[in-house]
Amino acid sequence: MVAAEPGAPGALAAATRYEVVGTADDVSDLALFPETGRQHQLRVHTRLIGHPILGDRLYDGWPAPRLMLHAYRIAFRHPRRGAVTFEAPLPADFR
């Protein structure tokens, strides 16, 4: 996946909001809010703003034991059940 100019042939729109939650040394803790659902969207967008995800070998992230990306909350509207939310605690290596 790569970024494309709006209106480029075959380009699909993608939008992500983000907030800086904290910083330490040369890394930042970001809260990411994807407004669309494109493949690798968060990974591409963080690379484009100059802050690839730690451990993301595909998109130039600094080395880490694994991709340091975690969905702590996912919420969406289910067609039959209405609003649905799932939450997962932070893994130990994120603390």
Domain holding 48, by residue range, is: 16-67
Residues with Cβ within 8 Å of 48's Cβ and at least 6 positions away in sequence, in order, are 3
Domain assignment present for residue 48? The answer is yes
Domain assignment present for residue 21? The answer is yes
Domain count for the chain, please give it: 1
Domain assignment present for residue 11? The answer is no
pLDDT of residue 7: 83
Domain assignment present for residue 83? The answer is no
Cα(6)–Cα(9) distance, integer angstroms: 9
pLDDT (tens digit, 0 to 9) for every residue of the chain, 95 residues total? 778 888 889 889 999 999 999 999 888 999 999 999 999 999 999 999 999 999 999 999 999 999 999 999 999 999 999 999 999 999 999 87
The one-character DSSP state at 41 is H
Does the predicted TM-score (pTM) go above 0.95? no
